[in-house]
């Protein structure tokens, strides 16, 4: 008798957990993104949101059964916008860091790529692999970086002799590098390759130095941010990430933009 009652209770709890995980299926979910970070998220010539983040978001919404809409938000206000309930989740190449976890919750990663420096071709510069050596090599130089990013924090903490100039968008940082106002650029390597080096403006520039992907500064990959207390939404998005990874949808989106696996290790 006790065993039957116990098993019935367990079954009921399991059903409650299942219902809870799927309780928000069919609801409208607003996705916040920057729209200024190609190839991950940007606006095309018609003002339409495009990019890897956007396609991944659409696939996740389909997998979770959500009715999704996008909200474009400047990067430095993207977490405040989430907390103010302008949208329900951020899918905008946001690195999962301990500092951000104090304000928001994250799903697991949906990609993980390293950061790098870029310089003008023909400019003689060697950046050693070790941070102390790199800091010494870049002493007295200047670098362009997007404001309020893991990349800005990394530079400020490790390169005391480097003049750091910050910009609202990555495109603005790239433009000052092209115009010769700074010596270097620093950002995610894929964003630099596809959004700058492969463009006409970036043709005279190249990567320099090692990859940087140090969890203390760069986090644990890019994840989806939700407000604290939104456990059902986080659970549904985590499940959706697993679904599109398993059914081949993720691989198709990856191949549309990249010739390597951006999911990382």
Q: What is the pLDDT of residue 21?
A: 39
Percent of the chain at pLDDT exceeding 70: 91
Euclidean distance between CA atoms 71 and 76, whole angstroms: 15
With 80 as the cut, is the pLDDT of residue 257 above it? yes
Looking at the fold, whether 83 and 202 belong to one and the same domain comes out as no
Q: Degrees (nearest 5) of the Cα angle 228, 40, 148?
A: 55
Burial 133-162 (b: 16+ CB within 10 A, else e): ebbebbeebebbbbbebbbbbbbeebbeeb
In a domain, 263, yes or no: no
Q: Would you say residue 264 lies in a domain?
A: no
pLDDT the model gives residue 4: 37
DSSP 97-112: -HHHHTTEEEEEEEE-
Residue 213 vs residues 216, 218, 225: alpha-carbon distances, Å: 9, 6, 20
pLDDT tens per residue across span 51-98: 999 999 999 999 999 999 999 999 999 999 999 999 999 999 999 999
pLDDT single digits (tens) 159-208: 999 999 999 999 999 999 999 999 999 999 999 999 999 999 999 999 99
Answer whether residue 139 is part of any domain: yes
Q: Do 120 and 213 fall within a single domain?
A: yes
When the pLDDT of each residue in the chain is averaged and rounded to a whole number, the result is 92
List pLDDT tens digits, range 136-146: 999 999 999 99
> Under a CB-based contact definition with an 8 Å cutoff, are residues 32 and 89 in contact?
yes
Surface-to-core class of residue 265, CB atoms within 10 Å of its CB (0-12 exposed, 13-18 middle, 19+ buried): exposed
- pLDDT band, residue 13 (cuts 50/70/90): very low
Same domain? 141 vs 238? no
Decide: pTM greater than 0.95: no
Classify residue 45: in a domain, yes or no: yes
Check residue 25 and give its pLDDT: 63
DSSP helix/strand/coil, 225: strand
Number of domains in the chain: 2
CATH for 119: 3.40.190.10
pLDDT of residue 24: 65
One domain, residues 82 and 201:
no
**Domain around 163:** 115-218
pLDDT of 255 strictly over 50: yes
Claim to verify: residue 253 and residue 226 sit in the same structural domain: yes
87, part of any domain: yes
For residues 219 and 99, the answer to whether their CB atoms sit within 8 Å is no
Antiparallel, parallel or unpaired: β 28-33 and 67-72: parallel
**pLDDT reported for residue 265:** 80
């Amino acid at each position: 008798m006790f065993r039957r009652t116990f098993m019935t209770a367990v079954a009921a709890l399991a059903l409650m957990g299942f219902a809870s995980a799927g309780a928000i299926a069919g609801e409208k979910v607003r996705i916040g993104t920057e729209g200024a970070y190609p190839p991950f998220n940007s606006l095309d010539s018609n003002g339409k949101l495009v990019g890897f983040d956007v396609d991944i978001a659409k696939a996740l919404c389909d997998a979770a059964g959500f009715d999704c809409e996008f909200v474009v938000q400047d990067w430095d206000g993207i977490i405040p916008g989430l907390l103010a309930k302008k949208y329900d989740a951020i899918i905008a190449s946001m690195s999962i860091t301990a500092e951000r976890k104090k304000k928001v919750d994250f799903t697991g990663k949906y990609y993980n790529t390293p950061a790098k420096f870029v310089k003008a071709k023909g400019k003689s510069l060697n950046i050693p692999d070790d941070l102390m050596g790199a800091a010494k090599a870049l002493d007295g130089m200047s670098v362009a970086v997007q404001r309020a990013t893991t990349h800005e924090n990394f530079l400020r903490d490790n390169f005391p002799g480097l003049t750091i100039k910050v910009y609202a968008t990555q495109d603005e940082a790239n433009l000052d590098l092209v115009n010769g106002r700074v010596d270097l650029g620093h950002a995610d390597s894929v964003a630099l390759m596809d959004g700058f080096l492969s463009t006409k403006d970036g043709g005279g520039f190249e990567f320099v130095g090692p990859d940087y992907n140090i969890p203390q500064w760069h986090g644990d990959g890019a994840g989806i941010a939700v407000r604290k207390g939104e456990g059902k939404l986080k659970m549904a998005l985590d499940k959706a990430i697993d679904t599109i990874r398993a059914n081949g949808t993720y691989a198709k989106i990856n191949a549309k933009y990249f010739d390597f696996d951006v999911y990382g290790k």
